Structure 1
Amino acid sequence: MSTLSRHNAALSTANSSSGYRTLWRWHFYAGLFVMPLLIALAITGTLYCFQPQIEPLLYPQLLVVEPQTAPRMTEDALLARARAAMPSNATAVTAAISNAPDRSTEFIFRLADGEKQSVYLNPYNGAVLGTLSVDYRFMQVDRMLHRKLLLGKPGELLMELAACWTFVMIGTGVALWWPRGATRVQDALVPRFTLKGRPLWKNVHAVMGIWLALGALAFVLTGLPWSGSWGQQFKALATATHLGAPPGTWGGLALRSVLPAGSGSQESAETDATNATFAGHETHAAQTDSMPGMVMDDLPLPQTPWAVGKVAVPASADTNANTNAKVAAPLPLGHIVAQAASLGVTSGYNIALPTSATGVYTVSYFPADPQLERTVYIDQYSGAILKDIRYADYGAVSKAVSYGTSLHMGRYFGVANQILCAAISLGLALMAVTGYVMWWKRRPQRSLGAPSRERAAPPMRGWKAGLVMLGIVFPLMGLTLLAVWFADRAIFGRAARRQREHERAAQ
C-alpha cells in the first residue's frame, strides 16, 4: 500500500470513529432536499427585500407622479373617481394612505368574480393612471413563490419543511467543518484558493457555510412564525400562554360596531357620493365581510402585524328594532383618515373599508419600526374607537417576532438591512450551487451517491437527542425524519448489507 493510500485509510478510520460519515450522510440528505428550494427562497427573498426600489421601476406610470405645489384632492373625492373608473358591481375594499409627494393614490376593488384590482390615481388632479391585478403584480407573485411556490397549501408545507431541514443542514455542516485535531481555526474561516478541482469547491463550500450559519439560522427562525402550519400553531400557543396577541383578541373581548337608528346629519356632496356606495353593495359581499369567526388575516390588507393576525374582526349588533327608522349614514373615508392622523398614524398605512352595514373601518399600520405598529378598529357610523392595539399591548413572543420580521424583510435599518439580507440570501444560494457541483464531481454511475454507512457508527446520543427535539418542536419535520430514516434503512441499508456479504465472500 502506498503512503497516500495509508494516509487516506487512516483518515477514513479517524473520521468514522468520530461519526464523520454519519454526519456527512445526514448533511447529504438534508442538502439534497433543501438545495433547490434554498435557491428559490434566496432569489425570491432578495427580490422581495428590495420591493420599495423595484416596484416603482416596474410600474412607473402607475406608482410615480410629478410632485406639485397644488393641494391634494380629498380621499373621498379620489375614491369617487376610482369608483367611476371601475365596473358598477365592483366593491372598494382597501384604501392605501400615503403622503409621499411623488406617489400615486391606490384603492383596491373586489370584482364580481372575486378578483382584486388596484386603481391608481394622481392625488393632485384625480386622473386615473390605470389598474393592476393585485394577485398578479410582480411582487405579489414573487411573495407567493417565496411562501408557497404558487402551489397553494402543499407548496406552503413544502417550504416549511425546507426551512426545518435547514436546521439539520446547518448543524451537520458546521460539525463537519469545525476545527478538530490539527486543523486550525483559520483553515475553517479562510478559503484556500490554492486548491484545485473538487477540494477547492469543498473548501469554499465549507468556509462559506461557517460564515453564513448564523445568518441562515436567523432567517429560518424569523420566517417560520409566518408559515402556514407550524406558524399558525405557534401563534395559537403564544396566545394561549399570554405571550402573543393582546388579551381579548381571540374572542375574550366583545368588539361591536353598533348600527344606529335615527336621522343622519346633512353631509357634503362628496360625502353623499361615498355614503351612497354602501347602499348598493351586493348581498354576497355583505355576507362575506360579516362572517362570524373572521380574523384580521382574512381582511383584504396587503400585510398585517403577526401579533394581530388572529384578532377577531368586529361584527355589529343590529339595534335598529324599528324597521321604519332611518339609518344614519356611514362616516366618509376622509373622516377616518383625519381620525387616524389624530392618533399619530399619518402615512404609509392601509384601511380595510367596511363593505356591509355591519363592518368597521380597520386601520392597519405595519411600518419598518415594530414599536410603531398599530391596528385600530373604528365604528363606521359613530367614529368610536372599538380597539386600538399597539406594540406595547403585545406579548413577549409577539414583540420578538415583530423585530425578527422587520429584520428578515430587510426593513429595520434601511438599505444596510436590505444589503445584509441580500448577502446572506445569495450566499446561501451559492452554497447550494457549490454543494451540487461537489456532488456532481464525485457522483458514481447509476447511484444517488450518498456517503457510505459507517461499519461501527458511534452512539452520537447528543445528535439523536437533537433530532428528536426538532421532530417534537416541528411535528411535520419529525414525520419526514422518520420517513428518511426508514428509507435509508430499507433501501440503502439493503445495498450496504449486500456489499458486506460480497466482501466476506471474496475473503
Structure 2
Amino acid sequence: MSTTTAQHATSTAGTANAGYRTLWRWHFYAGLFVMPFLVVLAITGTLYCFQPQIEPLLYPHRLIVAPQAVPRLSEDALLARARAAMPPDARAATAAIASAPDRSAEFVFRLADGEKQSVYLNPYNGEVLGTLSVEHRFMQVDRMLHRKLLLGKPGELLMELAACWTLVMIGTGIALWWPREKTTVRAALLPRFTLKGRPLWKNLHAVMGIWLALGAIAFVLSGLPWTGSWGQQFKALATAANLGAPPGSWGGLPLRSVLPGAVAAQKTRADATTQTQTVQTTQATHGEHAEHEAKMDSMPGMVMDDLPLPLTPWAVGKVPVPSSTQVQTQADRPQAWPLGRIVALVASLGVTSGYDLVLPNSATGVYTVSYFPADPKAERTMYIDQYSGTVLKDIRYGDYGAVSKAVSYGTALHMGRYFGLVNQILCAAISLGLAGMAITGCVMWWKRRPQRSLGAPSRERAAPPMRGWKTGLVLLGIVFPLMGATLLAVWIADRMIFARVAHGSA
C-alpha cells in the first residue's frame, strides 16, 4: 500500500514537473548568451537616462552660464562668432535652439575631415566657452555602446540578437518560476532569506526576475524598433500598411524646396535643357567646394536619419529630405533667410525652444526643424524653404500611423523622458535589476558547474511534446528572422555538440 502510494506520488510529481528541464536548458542557453550584453545594456542605459543631469556635471564650463539681466545676442550674431572660432573650411551644420537662461548656445560644425564638433558660446556676450567632439563626448560614446558596442554594424546586430534572446530568457524564466504543487503565488513573490547557499541565490534570482519581467519585456519591445536590421524592416512594413510614417513621407507626396524662378524655368523642354547646361557650368566654376556642398545637403535619397541630428522621431527617420528642382548660378542666387528670422518663424508656429535646426549648406538645401520633446504628442518635424520661408512640410504626432504613435510613447518611456525624474528612476531600477539578474545567474552557474563541462542542465529522459512552447519559438523566429537563425543553430548544436547528458540539479 505504501509502495503504491509512493509510486503514485513520484508519478504525480513527474507529471507536474514535465518539461521543467527542457525549459531550464533553454533558459540556460539564453542567459549564457545574454548575460554580458545585459550588463552592458543596463549600465549604459541607466547612464543615458540621466543624461540631462550628468552632462552639465561633466562639462559645466561649456554648457552652463550665469543668467544675466541683459538681452541675449541674436542667433545670427552668435553663429557669426562661432564661425569665427572654427577653421575656415568648417561648415555650420546644426544649431541647438534653447531659451533656458543658464544654458549656453551650441552650434555643430562639420570639419573638413568629416568630424563633427560642437562650439559653445555665452549667449549674453558671445564669448566662446569651448568645443567638444560630437562623436567622442561621453554620452555619445555611451549611446553607441548601448546600441552597437562601438563595433559598427556587427555590434548593432549582436545587440539586436541579445534583445531578442532576452525574450526567450524571460519567457522560460516565468515558466520556471510558475508555482508548482503546494507553492503559493505569495510565497513565490517574496524572497526567502532563511535559505542558505545556492538555494538562496536561486530564490533571489527567481523572485527578482518575476518582479522585473514586465519592465524587461517593455524595455525590449520599445528598443527593438530602433535596431538597424529588424527595426528598419519593421518601419518599412508599418509604413506599407499605413500604420507608420505620415502619408507621403516615403515619396508618395512631393517634398521640394523650389528656388524663386524655378517654376518659370521649367515651362518648356528647351528651358530645362538650358538649365541643365547652366548647372554643369556653375558646378565647374565653383569646383570642389560646390561639389562638397551638394554632397553635404542635397544627396539624392538623403533621409532624416542622415542629417546631423542627435535624435529624430522614429516615424520620420526615413522621410526624404527636400531638394530643389534646379540650381541657379551664384550671381542669380537669391538671398537666403538668416537664422534669426527662421527661429522667429518657428516660434510663431508654436515651437519656441528645445529643438535642433539643421542649416542648409547648399543652394538646394532647406532649414530642417527637429523637435523631439519628452511628450510624444508635441513632436514636430518641419522643412522650411531657405529663400521664401515657406513651410514645405510640418509633420506632427497626429500625422503618424498607429504603430508610430505607439513607438513614440515606448521611446519616451524607454529613455526615461515621459514623466520626469520618476520615469528615470524607474528605468534605472529595471536596468540595474536586470544586471543583478545576470550576476545572480552567473553565481548560480558557478556554484553548480561541473569540471571540464559547460554545465548545461541535463535533458529529460522522456521530454514532453511542449507544442505550445515550440510554436512560440517558431513564431518568434519568424517575427525576428535573425534570431530564428540563431535559434536553429543553438538547437542543432544542442543535439550534435552538447549531446552528452550534463549532470546538474534543479
- TM-score of the alignment, normalized to the shorter chain, above 0.5: yes
- Are 2:483 and 1:477 aligned? yes
CA contact (8 A) 1:34 1:165 kept: yes
Q: Match for 2:394 among 388, 392, 402?
A: 388
Which residue in the other structure is 2:372 paired with? Answer: 366
1:274 is aligned to: none
Q: 1:24 to 1:429 in 2, by over 3 A?
A: same
| Aligned equivalents of 2:37, 2:356: Cα separation in 1 | 32
Pairing 1:328–2:334 present: yes
How many pairs are equivalent?
A: 474
Q: Which amino acid aligns with 1:81?
A: R
Residue equivalent to 1:283:
291
Partners of 1:195 and 1:470 lie apart in 2 by 37
* Paired position in structure 2 for 1:299: 307
Residues 91-490 of structure 1: pairs in structure 2 closer than 5 A: 91-260=91-260, 283-318=291-326, 320=328, 326-490=332-496
Give the distance between the partners of 2:13 and 2:184, measured in 1 at CA. 21
Q: Which amino acid aligns with 2:356?
A: N
Distance change (3 Å), C-alpha of 1:354 and 1:319: closer
Change in 2 beyond 3 A, CA 1:237/1:492: same
3-state SS of the aligned residue for 1:492?
coil
Cα distance in 2 for residues equivalent to 1:209 and 1:256: 52
Per-residue CA deviation, residues 145-193 of structure 1 (Å, 9 max, x unaligned), is 0000000000000000000001100000010011121111122100000
Query: 1:210 corresponds to which letter in structure 2?
Result: I
Is the 8 Å Cα contact of residues 281 and 355 (structure 1) preserved in structure 2? no
Give 1:12 shift: 11
- CA–CA distance in 2 between the matches of 1:281 and 1:103? 34
Q: Structure 1 pair 350/279, CA: closer, same or farther in 2 (3 Å)?
A: farther
Pick from 483, 498, 501 the counterpart of residue 496 of structure 1: 501
> What percentage of residue pairs aligned between the two structures are identical?
78
Structure-2 separation of matches of 1:159 and 1:56: 29
Q: Is 1:89 matched up with 2:89?
A: yes
Amino acid at match of 2:166: T
Q: Tell me if the contact between 2:189 and 2:207 (Cα under 8 Å) persists in the aligned partners.
A: yes
Q: Which residue of 1 aligns with 2:277?
A: none
CA distance in 1, matches of 2:447, 2:47: 31
Gaps of 5+ in 1: 1-5, 263-277, 500-507
Distance 2:183 2:83 in 1: 70
Once residues 10 and 192 of structure 1 are traced to their aligned partners in structure 2, the CA distance between those partners, rounded to angstroms, is: 26
Give the aligned partner of residue 3 of structure 1. Answer: none
> Which residue number in structure 1 is paired with residue 56 of structure 2?
56
CA contact (8 A) 1:92 1:110 kept: yes
Kept in 2, the 8 Å contact 1:364–1:376? The answer is: yes
Q: Distance in 1 between matches of 2:290 and 2:392?
A: 26
Matches within 5 A, 1:20-31: 20-31=20-31
Q: CA RMSD in A?
A: 2.0
Q: 1:303–1:198: structure 2 CA closer, same or farther, 3 Å change rule?
A: same
Given residue 329 of structure 1, which amino acid in structure 2 is its aligned partner?
Answer: Q
Partner Cα distance (2:474, 2:293) in 1: 47
Structure 1: distance between partners of 2:310 and 2:61: 21
Pair 1:32-2:32 in alignment: yes
Tell me if structure 2 keeps the 8 A contact 1:371–1:391. yes
SS in 1 for 2:248: coil
Q: Which amino acid aligns with 2:28?
A: F
CA-CA distance at 1:16 after TM superposition? 8.1
SS of equivalent residue, structure 1 residue 117? strand
TM-score in terms of structure 2 length: 0.91
Bigger mean CA deviation after superposition, 213-222 or 285-294:
285-294
Report the Cα distance in structure 2 between the residues aligned to 1:156 and 1:239, rounded to whole angstroms: 23
Structure 2: 5+ residue runs without aligned partners? 1-5, 263-285
